[in-house]
Amino acid sequence: MYEQERVGDYIITYTGKKFYPLDPRPEDIDIVDIAHSLSGLVRFTGHSEKFYTVGEHSIHCANVAKKLGYSTLIQLYALLHDASESVVNDVSRPAKQHLPDYKKMENSIMEVIWKTVGLPPPTEEDYKLVKIIDNTLLLNEMMQLMPSSNITLPNVEHEMVSVDLSEEYTRQEVKGTFLMKYAELMDMYLDE
């Protein structure tokens, strides 16, 4: 059987898979790789007061979605909304808005992730809800984790939900919590 040549270069994931960011395929996606990578990938390009990861951010997003009474599917979207960053890294919002090819690549990866985990791609309305949840966390994170007290908070649509970010977690704790939250939400989603 002839296999089509892959496009671009690849990275090696935690589980040893070759992942081609320009040619994502379902067989290259593993939730363990996503959890492992996000548990070590820092938010705010490393400028926060403490070591705070995209994995922690994602778990908090899922918890906020639950607190706001959103469906299990929205909670899953919130948990996985940054999953593409596990293979292409986190780019700060001010930079990302000027990188249309990055956003296109990120969207392509997310399409494959949704397919692989068995979730329908988020609708425009779903995406808006997840963005509000993401912004809610962003504001909590900036107030609690950024070193300057003179931060001007961005004018973004958000909910008035307070999230305690004071507890410190090891990478293994974040990875384990992410995987448990994913398994729990997927079980609930499949039972609905």
Q: What is the pLDDT of residues 83-132, one digit of tens each?
A: 999 999 988 888 988 998 998 999 999 999 999 999 999 999 999 999 99
Domains of the chain (ranges, CATH numbers): 11-191 (1.10.3210.10)
Per-residue pLDDT band at 26 (split at 50, 70, 90): very high
Q: Which long-range contacts (CB under 8 A, 24 or more apart) does 185-192 make?
A: 185/62, 185/72, 185/75, 185/76, 185/79, 186/76, 186/117, 186/118, 188/72, 189/72, 189/73, 189/76, 189/119, 192/72
Which DSSP string corresponds to 67-96?
HTT--HHHHHHHHHTTTTHHHH----HHHH
What is the Cα–Cα distance from 177 to 45, expressed in whole angstroms?
22
- pTM as predicted: 0.92
